Amino acid sequence: MRKASIMLALALASLLLCQTAFSIEKTVAVNKSVKLEVGKDAPWFSGWTTDDKVFTVRKALDDPKVKRLALVFFAKYCVACRPGIKKLAAAADKMQAQGIQVVLVNFQDKPDEIQQYLKSLSANADGPAQGGAPNSQQNVGIPFTVVLDRYGQSNRVFLEPTGDKVVLPRTVLIGKDGKVQAIFGEEGDDYVDRIMQGN
């Protein structure tokens, strides 16, 4: 009888522990010991997407169709991020055909706010956003995977080049070999071309 009581108590404790572990909010993980530099290995980066899947840089680069990865950091308050995302959406098919996977990384907004932001971008676009990138169904006309960084874990490595101020917009290009090819914040007329050329 005592053995059965102990086993039941252990089973209940395990169940409670598992439930607690699964209720912890999902966030981004970044290797903060690696410095972001062109020509060097990209910092390890992973996070949860808007459609509740795990995204990792390594997994994305392991896809044989992906030749280059563009991490595009944005936030809803970033007015300068809007034109760049629209340009990327308009060129999605062309980039995908060249093996370029664009991943939008949202900085500290809530999931419903992100969806409203993306919806406003597609509604204000010059034409309908096209493209068939994975995980695009949830992103209201924007054909890219969107990773959530609700707690700003990416800021020290990816967004604070001066160490004290978050800089947006910010695009980090990562080659098939996992090395950083380019880092830029300006999203001028040649933005898509720079991503396609890797500089």
Q: How far apart are CA 81 and CA 107, in angstroms?
A: 12
Q: Is residue 21 domain-resident?
A: no
Parent domain of 61:
26-197
- Does 93 fall in a domain? yes
b/e burial code for range 164-184 (CB count within 10 A of at least 16 → b): eebebbbbbbbbeeeebbbee
Omega before 169 cis (within 30°)? yes
- Under DSSP, is residue 56 helix (H, G, I), strand (E, B) or coil? strand
CATH of the domain at 32: 3.40.30.10
Query: Residue 178 region, left (φ>0) first, then alpha (ψ -120 to 50), else beta?
Result: left
**pLDDT value at position 145?**
92
* For range 32-51, the mean pLDDT: 83
pLDDT digits (tens, 9 = 90+) for 1-18: 566 555 444 444 443 333
pLDDT classification of 68: cutoffs 50, 70, 90: very high
Instruction: Report if residue 2 sits inside a domain.
Output: no
Tell whether 3 is covered by a domain: no
Specify if 49 maps to a domain.
yes
Total domains, the chain: 1
Whether residue 5 is contained in a domain is answered as no
Domain assignment of residue 15, yes or no: no
Q: What type of residue sits at position 182? A: A
Give the predicted TM-score (pTM) of the model. Answer: 0.76
Q: What is the tens place of the pLDDT at every residue in 157-192?
A: 787 755 667 778 899 999 999 999 999 887 888 999
CA distances from 84 to 5, 89, 104, 194 (A): 62, 9, 11, 12
Residue 9 is assigned to a structural domain of this protein: no
Residue 19 has a pLDDT of 38
> Per-residue confidence at 65, pLDDT binned at 50, 70, 90?
very high
- State how beta strands 100-107 and 145-149 pair: parallel
143, 89 contact by CB (below 8 A): yes
